[in-house]
Amino acid sequence: MANTTDTSKGRNTPPFLQALLSIVRIIGSIAITMLGLLFITFIIGRVMPVDPVLSIVGESASKETYDAAYKAIGLDKPLIVQFATYIWDVITGDFGVSLLNARPVADDIKRVFPATLELATLGTLIGVFVGVPLGVIAAVKRGSWIDQIARVLALVGYSMPIFWLGLVSLLIFYGILGWVGGPGRVGIFYVDIVPEVTGMILVDSLLDRNWDVFRDALSHIILPALLLGYYSLAYISRMTRSFMLEQLSSEYITTARVKGLSERAVIWRHALGNIKVQLITVIALSYAGLLEGSVLTEIIFAWPGIGSYITTALLSADMNAVMGGTVVVGLVFVCLNIFSDLLYKYFDPRAK
């Protein structure tokens, strides 16, 4: 009886209160995850074999200068106090000052992150619009030449080092054929021409209706975006094929065919419709992977994104920049997971 009463109470909860509780759970989940991420980055910053004081004052500084800087950045305080200060600084958007350029790390991240966002978004769109249909067709035509080609493409995408593909494609399509723009986001003649609104140069040039800058930016981004899109395509097409094979062998598909539904409706409406929730996870993970894992692509194509920014900072022992960039990437990853959970509830009523 007690269980029945509790269940009925849960069902009678007002929709507003249910929504409020759901929002509180989401915020709590984000807070706990970010707290764990901040703790890890804080510990990494303390155990790295890099002396942040020497990075500031230099190795030739006197002991008095060293001690003054040591106290100025709070290293003389207990670790728990340092961690609390670090959490407060992150909450207020203060990631410290970069040792490389003496600018606030937050300003640097605002400058470089849109470049990565633009590149990863275009790569993911290519992966989705090519990978999903390819995976569906490969599952429907299982064992055919189309299926074999799709499987080979996925295998090559997983196996081939992306830095090698990047170097070869840059040599062929830019160095030899001249079909695409070179490294960087735009040519030197188009730098800082359009007003920066979003930081994504394709979007900003469209908003400014500057078609010359748009065409030049597109010629620069198309090759790295295709490489990332191929990597995303390999993962998405493989998972789509696997999901579709499972659905096509289900009883409800046989029933739908017996009832006389067209093959197009059976495949694209029923079978594909039932893997939407699974595809959301795959696409979200692929997108997050491109946002945090496009370091090699950015380095090869001299793309001024957050991946190359963190790499340069790490090689220069600029721990403020490394930790700030890591926190931002982690926050994006958490937000994408939360967003995919919300989409679950939208597409699958059972998850509500």
- Averaged pLDDT, groups of 10, the chain, 352 residues long: 48 69 79 84 75 71 78 78 86 83 87 91 92 91 88 82 85 88 85 87 90 92 92 90 88 82 84 85 86 80 88 81 86 82 69 53
Specify the pLDDT at position 6. Answer: 47
CATH of residue 294: 1.10.3720.10
Listed in sequence order, the residues at least 6 apart from 229 whose beta carbon sits closer than 8 Å to its beta carbon are 122, 123, 124, 125, 126, 127, 130
- Are residues 154 and 69 both part of a single domain? no
Specify the pLDDT at position 12. Answer: 64
**Residue 212, in any domain of the structure:** yes
Specify the pLDDT at position 2. Answer: 47
Instruction: State the residue range of the domain holding 197.
Output: 107-351
Listed in sequence order, the residues at least 6 apart from 258 whose beta carbon sits closer than 8 Å to its beta carbon are none
Sign of the Cα pseudo-torsion (221, 224, 230, 231, in order):
negative
**Residue 99, in any domain of the structure:** no
Domain boundary among 33, 60, 91: 91
- Are residues 129 and 160 both part of a single domain? yes
Domain boundary among 67, 91, 115: 91
**Residue 331, in any domain of the structure:** yes
Residue among 341, 276, 260, 346 nearest 136 (CA): 276
- Are residues 179 and 314 both part of a single domain? yes
- Are residues 46 and 135 both part of a single domain? no
- Are residues 238 and 326 both part of a single domain? yes
- Are residues 12 and 123 both part of a single domain? no
The Cβ-side half-sphere exposure at 197, using a 13 Å CA radius, reads 10
**Residue 101, in any domain of the structure:** no
Domain boundary among 91, 119, 149: 91
- Are residues 12 and 56 both part of a single domain? yes
Specify the pLDDT at position 253. Answer: 82
The pair phi, psi for residue 282, each rounded to 5°, is -60, -45
- Are residues 147 and 230 both part of a single domain? yes
Listed in sequence order, the residues at least 6 apart from 77 whose beta carbon sits closer than 8 Å to its beta carbon are 85
CA distance 236 to 318: 36
**Residue 38, in any domain of the structure:** yes
**Residue 251, in any domain of the structure:** yes
Count of domains forming the chain: 2
**Residue 55, in any domain of the structure:** yes
CA distance 304 to 297: 11
- Are residues 128 and 228 both part of a single domain? yes
Specify the pLDDT at position 13. Answer: 67
- Are residues 166 and 129 both part of a single domain? yes
- Are residues 123 and 174 both part of a single domain? yes
- Which residue is listed with tokens 């999901």? 243
**Residue 100, in any domain of the structure:** no
Within 10 angstroms of residue 287's Cβ, the number of other Cβ atoms is: 23
Q: Give me the amino acid identity at 269.
A: R
CA distance 246 to 298: 37
End-to-end CA distance of the chain: 25
- Are residues 118 and 75 both part of a single domain? no
